[in-house]
Chains A and B, each alone.
Chain A
């Protein structure tokens, strides 16, 4: 498609809200920047709104953090940047910041009348891209668009850097998309698949593809191999070179491993942060060890959630994960069953998780903090959500026939979770089923990711959660669980229905993964076509209409992108590119968003110039902007492209087992959440 024409039409047709569609970017940017401003003070809110409108931005205001989060989840790609007050009655601004970073990976600017160094530092550590001292002047707002652009740019860059293989591979790779293993060859684990798909779909996009580098798709299996290698070496001693040697995967480069390791580390860090309270859970989980393996996926999820709630010590999580890794066997009964329902999710999650896992990792940390801050009341919810998540993960993982472990594993907690999850999962399952199927095909990876320990999954899932399935596919197993876990934690209080409170901690992980996944997903989705539905499922589960998530867009409709396929193709590519970048940079610290944002920014800002092709940019933007939507979109793209990301590699069985191994529960929850385009919203709670 012609970028210019698209752009033109887009700018015309799209309202300010869709300026990112890419067309407008170059013309009007930063006008039309979609800003979400959150402040409990009505006076400030009114003034900010007026100022932002004066800057020609498209403003949405909220006076409560919860409202803001739900708005963001509902419309993943509906916003480019968030402005939030630090002190709010219903939720700490930093917590919101973390959530957003994890789930949507949007740039967030904090505001406060407090200019104390510590507060500002807190903003920095939590991932805020800027901090404004109140009273805010309009001049300060005039430049906030730079954060959007920067993020996209960074994502792009990461993507580019991570992709060692390149464009050349893309074309031929398209056919390989279906092949997981070959993804490794691509070198870009993130969105390469998607890109390829996209590329295939749109020849025109080829030009843009140059921007994207083939990425390695971290399938569940691949991720498991990775985690096994890391565990073997010891997390402290795990260096990319050695990991690469241990993994012995042809075509995988040191860079791929390095960026993946970075994410994984973030993920772990996050998990450990969360696990402060978890003593109970860990005991329970550890006890189960053998079953744990399978449980681990669930546990991972649980763990994460627990961690979030402070119940699950990091160590437990780690243990679980290890267990999960080690075991491909049945996952403890309950979680697993749950997982089944979530299968769809799991598939998705793994992918997502994977990429995001790392991100999540970082964000987890943040989340953890948040969690602590979470009122105790949240915990139960979180657990519940965790359950849900677990269930979803379980479902996901479980896609493959329940490992049998499902039956009461020793973990009473799990059991509970399983039960709850089952309920939820069932809902999801029906939906998820569809997705699962599709995802399975598309994202064999997902399953693997599910299996991954929560930690890893968390990261990965996070990503996937956000994107929904697409990402999961990529990440071997990472994504699903973690996100699930993460989410619950975060959202426990927030999202009643979303299983796990995607909002809660998991959010972090999910968010991170999202960023990464988006890209992956995109490419993957292309191939998988089927994926899309899964995303929808998530969306549905979560919220409301799957469409909200962007699945609607999936038809490549990215909200703005009209070109659909062509755009999508680009998007996928860009997304993946971006995703990769995001991941590789390992900035995920809850900055998944940055990756996503960056990519988005790229699009929206019309980075087209930078990218060299409007199309790409648009796609990216679309992808990124949506955060989730992108993901979804990418999926859609996948549909079109023949190469399914995961096609045969991960059949359901594979996925399931992988998932089970890992922490399906975690993954599933993520999936649920992510569905919406990786927003936690999806997770039905």
Chain B
């Protein structure tokens, strides 16, 4: 069946997301929530995440343009962003968020900026990868996502 090769490919893609550290266990949690009633749940959540977090990213960017940095505010934004990112299992993005917050707490503006740049990169990379993954998933049809025994 043509699905099989696609499914295989999908599985490989999925595995690499984990192996490369882009997503973590939380992603599996989302996958487990996916069922026949919500066959595209994960994709929906991720889409919602990117849409909502774009707003936070923008806020942070604007805050970083105002000098001196309002670290408290930056930290608050990042806390929000981190919470969101961690809920979809965005591992690298989350790690970078934590780092950014550390810099905020220590008042390291330079560190914040660097960290933020890195974060945006990871954020964009993940988006691309997940986008491709979901696209393939749709093409492959209902796929049995890896799920841990419940």
Q: Is the CB of B26 within 8 A of A50?
A: no
- Which single member of B32, B79, B87, B89 contacts A87 (CB below 8 Å)? B79
CB B96 to nearest CB in A, in angstroms, measures 14
Known: A50-B38, A87-B76. A41 touches B84 (CB 8 A): yes
The reply on B48 being an interface residue by CB < 8 A is yes
Which of A62-121 touch B at CB < 8 Å? 85, 87, 112-114
Q: Is the CB of B33 within 8 A of A50?
A: yes
Known: A42-B48, A43-B48, A87-B79. A138 touches B33 (CB 8 A): yes
Instruction: Name which residue of chain B comes closest to A85, CB basis.
Output: B83
- Chain A residues within 8 Å of B32, by CB: 138
The reply on B57 being an interface residue by CB < 8 A is no
Known: A50-B38, A134-B86, A135-B29. A43 touches B80 (CB 8 A): no
The reply on B52 being an interface residue by CB < 8 A is yes
A50 to B82, CA, bound (A): 20
A46 to B43, CA, bound (A): 12
The reply on A54 being an interface residue by CB < 8 A is yes
Q: Is the CB of A46 within 8 A of B48?
A: yes
The reply on B88 being an interface residue by CB < 8 A is yes
Known: A43-B48, A46-B48. A134 touches B33 (CB 8 A): no
Known: A41-B52, A114-B79, A135-B26. A47 touches B86 (CB 8 A): no
The reply on A249 being an interface residue by CB < 8 A is no
Known: A42-B52, A43-B45, A50-B41. A135 touches B33 (CB 8 A): no
A85 to B83, CA, bound (A): 10
- Which single member of B29, B44, B82 contacts A113 (CB below 8 Å)? B82
Which of A109-143 touch B at CB < 8 Å? 112-114, 134-138
A536 to B144, CA, bound (A): 54
The reply on A44 being an interface residue by CB < 8 A is yes
CB B52 to nearest CB in A, in angstroms, measures 5
Which of A26-48 touch B at CB < 8 Å? 41-44, 46-47
The reply on A51 being an interface residue by CB < 8 A is yes
What number of residue pairs across chains A and B have CB atoms under 8 A from each other?
60
B70-85 vs A, Cβ < 8 Å mask (1 yes, 0 no) = 0000001001101110
Q: Is the CB of A138 within 8 A of B87?
A: no
- Chain A residues within 8 Å of B86, by CB: 113, 134-135
CB A135 to nearest CB in B, in angstroms, measures 4
- Chain A residues within 8 Å of B13, by CB: none
Q: Is the CB of A44 within 8 A of B84?
A: yes
The reply on B49 being an interface residue by CB < 8 A is yes
Q: Is the CB of B26 within 8 A of A46?
A: no
Q: Is the CB of B87 within 8 A of A44?
A: yes
Q: Is the CB of B45 within 8 A of A46?
A: yes
A-B contact pairs, 9 of them (CB 8 A): A41-B83, A42-B48, A44-B83, A47-B33, A50-B41, A113-B82, A135-B87, A135-B89, A136-B87
- Which single member of B33, B41, B52 contacts A43 (CB below 8 Å)? B52
The reply on B95 being an interface residue by CB < 8 A is no
Q: Is the CB of A134 within 8 A of B41?
A: no
The reply on B60 being an interface residue by CB < 8 A is no
Which of B18-52 touch A at CB < 8 Å? 26, 29-30, 32-33, 38, 41, 44-45, 48-49, 52
Which of B90-128 touch A at CB < 8 Å? none
Q: Is the CB of A113 within 8 A of B79?
A: yes
Instruction: Name which residue of chain B comes closest to A54, CB basis.
Output: B33
CB B29 to nearest CB in A, in angstroms, measures 6
Further pairs besides A46-B45, A113-B83, A138-B29: 9, Cβ < 8 Å: A41-B87, A43-B49, A43-B87, A44-B87, A50-B38, A114-B79, A134-B87, A135-B88, A137-B29
A242 to B33, CA, bound (A): 60
Instruction: Name which residue of chain B comes closest to A134, CB basis.
Output: B83
- Which single member of B44, B48, B83, B84 contacts A112 (CB below 8 Å)? B83
CB B36 to nearest CB in A, in angstroms, measures 13
Q: Is the CB of B79 within 8 A of A47?
A: no
- Report which A residues bind B (CB closer than 8 A): 41-44, 46-47, 50-51, 54, 85, 87, 112-114, 134-138
- Chain A residues within 8 Å of B29, by CB: 47, 51, 135, 137-138
B interface residues, how many (CB within 8 angstroms): 23
Instruction: Name which residue of chain A comes closest to B78, CB basis.
Output: A113
Q: Is the CB of A41 within 8 A of B80?
A: yes
CB B31 to nearest CB in A, in angstroms, measures 11
A137 to B79, CA, bound (A): 19
Q: Is the CB of A43 within 8 A of B79?
A: no
A509 to B48, CA, bound (A): 39
CB A314 to nearest CB in B, in angstroms, measures 31
CB A185 to nearest CB in B, in angstroms, measures 54
A85 to B80, CA, bound (A): 11
A138 to B83, CA, bound (A): 16
- Chain B residues within 8 Å of A42, by CB: 48, 52
A51 to B44, CA, bound (A): 14
A85 to B86, CA, bound (A): 14
Q: Is the CB of A43 within 8 A of B88?
A: yes
Known: A87-B79, A113-B82. A51 touches B88 (CB 8 A): no
- Which single member of B33, B82, B84 contacts A51 (CB below 8 Å)? B33
- Chain B residues within 8 Å of A50, by CB: 33, 38, 41
- Chain B residues within 8 Å of A138, by CB: 29, 32-33
Instruction: Name which residue of chain B comes closest to A51, CB basis.
Output: B33
- Chain A residues within 8 Å of B26, by CB: 135, 137
A42 to B30, CA, bound (A): 15
- Chain B residues within 8 Å of A47, by CB: 29-30, 33, 45, 87-88
Instruction: Name which residue of chain A comes closest to B97, CB basis.
Output: A113
Instruction: Name which residue of chain A comes closest to B30, CB basis.
Output: A47
A43 to B26, CA, bound (A): 13
A51 to B41, CA, bound (A): 11
Known: A134-B87, A135-B89. A87 touches B80 (CB 8 A): yes
- Chain A residues within 8 Å of B82, by CB: 113
Instruction: Name which residue of chain B comes closest to A137, CB basis.
Output: B29
- Chain B residues within 8 Å of A41, by CB: 52, 80, 83-84, 87
- Chain A residues within 8 Å of B53, by CB: 43
- Chain B residues within 8 Å of A54, by CB: 33
B1-31 vs A, Cβ < 8 Å mask (1 yes, 0 no) = 0000000000000000000000000100110
- Chain A residues within 8 Å of B76, by CB: 87
A680 to B88, CA, bound (A): 37
Instruction: Name which residue of chain A comes closest to B46, CB basis.
Output: A43
A50 to B87, CA, bound (A): 12
- Chain B residues within 8 Å of A134, by CB: 83, 86-87
CB A14 to nearest CB in B, in angstroms, measures 23
Instruction: Name which residue of chain B comes closest to A41, CB basis.
Output: B84
A136 to B38, CA, bound (A): 20
Instruction: Name which residue of chain A comes closest to B48, CB basis.
Output: A43
A112 to B83, CA, bound (A): 7
CB A120 to nearest CB in B, in angstroms, measures 15
CB B83 to nearest CB in A, in angstroms, measures 4
- Chain B residues within 8 Å of A112, by CB: 83
CB A40 to nearest CB in B, in angstroms, measures 8
A46 to B52, CA, bound (A): 12
Instruction: Name which residue of chain A comes closest to B38, CB basis.
Output: A50
- Chain A residues within 8 Å of B89, by CB: 135
Instruction: Name which residue of chain A comes closest to B83, CB basis.
Output: A113
